[in-house]
Structure 1
Amino acid sequence: MTVKEAAEYLECSVDTVYRMARKGELPCFKIRSLYRFDKEFLDEWMKRQQMNCLENLNKDAI
């Protein structure tokens, strides 16, 4: 999927997707100078983000 498609899927801006991809925060690959994203990898990434958030909430509650 393209950067624009990934941004729509993640419900964030194209600039955010570019920034996170450049920093290595989002799973992606490049074809020449174009970033591409695999939906399954983004789904896995989102699940990990949710788990991290829940773990942090549990730590704060203790």
Structure 2
Amino acid sequence: MPSREAVAREITRTLLDIANEEITGSDRLVVTLTVRDDQDRTISVASLIFTNEWINDPQ
């Protein structure tokens, strides 16, 4: 099994790649990633939440 640091780096890279593709034009995005080991046991659950709230309404 890879080290926790290696798994965390891959999780981060994957979440950012997904967000980069999916966030365009969206004010809200939630991406959750579940990592399983080779015996299908969950070893990590990571989430990335993006929100954007416009303060002024353009006229």
TM (normalized to structure 1)? 0.31
TM-score normalised by the chain length of structure 2: 0.32
Q: Which has the higher helix share?
A: 1
Q: Select the structure of larger CA radius of gyration.
A: 2
More strand by share: 2
